[in-house]
Amino acid sequence: MKARYDVVVVGSGAGGGLIAGELAQRGRDVLLLEAGPHFTAADFTRFEARANHELWWPLRFATSPDAPPIALLGARCVGGTTVINTKVALRAHERDLAKWELPGFGRADLDPYYDRVEAYLGVRERNDWTKSVHTVLPGFEALGASLESVHAYADVNCMRCGSCLQGCPTNAGKSTQNTWIHEAWARGLMDLEANTPVDRVAVDGGEASGVVLADGRTVDAGAVVVAGGALNTPQILRRSGLDGAVGRNLGLHPVRLVYGLFDEPQDNHMAYPITTHCMDHQHDEDGGFVIEATTIQDPIAFATTLCDENGPLWGQPLVDAAKRYRNWVGVLAMVNDENNAAVSADDGGAEEFTFDFNERERRRLDDSLAFSRDVLLAAGATQVLWSGLASTHVQGSARMGDDPATSVVDRNAESHEVRRLFVGDGSLVPRTLSVNPSLTIMALALRLADHLHADPQGYLAG
């Protein structure tokens, strides 16, 4: 690493990886820092336990005084969670953006960035439905619901092997690692440091002057972009002396997998994990949930999360369920939440994630489970089981807004408190989207990259 860069970007996921790569390809002097390791397709094998150890953050939980904990899932590697997600590419609905309380900001502002991101990633419609999708389709039709083919950033090299959550072994899945990051890094346009966690942003006279690494080293910068994800970014900002709304308004976009057992093998694990979705209940007034079909967890996660009306499965019922792994078909129920969670950390670094769902959120969770069960039973399932709640789409803990009392950054993603300090990940999203957020995070990141490169305030002029 050099002593100084135009821009230092902390975190290499959907936001940070794009911002660093875009700025580097435009000639800016960029350092990209990632807390986790740098693995590539040559390292990715369908070995669930190994991937969970090497690519994923150690399992964390959000807790509530009156509800079971929610597992918080995400990656810690170059490319962030784009390395281990299902590459679903959905634009935010105008009704989602209306909840952001940003007057005058809507789809017309984001669509040009969506267009550019989709073109860069080669987003395409997935019509290669597998047997398991056709198995559950009659269940949706019986309930008067429809399935739509998903759009995804996975190219024609996708062999539907189902190993998305362990990293794509064919590079068909377009993570920020094998697109924006490698495009700049392999050409020597950008410095990339993996296994390099950041302690805090260095702040001098109300301006960000660089970053302080966990090992005590410092790197100076004309501007700093914190993009460590909605769970980690607020912790970095707090350690940097920021206050206000940092860590508040965290959205979890809680999900639950619901499984139906069928007489014939379905091999739901050998598929593109999310092939279709049901959007009939997407909006709050229609139910407030989206169903993705079909998908199943890998064997360890599947067996350790199965529940029924009596709670977690154990003993012989669990053995029986696990033995018939090939016969289960899963749907994923994603529920709209209202950002009633929070991130905090004490002076010793002990982190805490809490949530407190209101009655509307709890009703959506119940209704999405009931709908999923009805679909699977109508499709002919002989037994239905489900998982506990998890969150892979955390958003909003350093949200964008006009009011410094309720937001952390302004419309250009610059901190209200500290000049030259920007946030470039899902933390920006003011209210949880009703769809997978990665495409929107990328669109907002591209918007920020344009702003930083234009440099209207002369931050990078030196």
pLDDT tens sequence across 165-218 = 999 999 999 999 999 999 999 999 999 999 999 999 999 999 999 999 999 999
What spatial distance separates the first Cα and last Cα of the chain, rounded to whole Å? 18
Specify the amino acid at residue 170.
Answer: T
Angle of helix 438-454 relative to helix 107-121, nearest 10 degrees? Answer: 100
Angle of helix 359-378 relative to helix 131-142, nearest 10 degrees? Answer: 110
C-alpha to C-alpha distance for 317 and 28, rounded to whole angstroms: 58
Task: Determine contact, residues 448/412, Cβ cutoff 8 Å.
Answer: yes
Instruction: Give residue-wise pLDDT tens across range 260-313.
Output: 999 999 999 987 778 899 999 999 999 999 999 999 999 999 999 999 999 999
pLDDT in the model for residue 462: 67
- According to DSSP, the β-strands at 30-33 and 191-193 are parallel
Instruction: Give residue-wise pLDDT tens across range 112-145.
Output: 999 999 999 999 999 989 999 999 999 999 999 9
C-alpha to C-alpha distance for 75 and 88, rounded to whole angstroms: 16
C-alpha to C-alpha distance for 452 and 98, rounded to whole angstroms: 26
**Strands (E) located in 130-206:** 148-149, 151-152, 191-193, 198-204
C-alpha to C-alpha distance for 150 and 148, rounded to whole angstroms: 6
pTM, two decimal places? 0.97
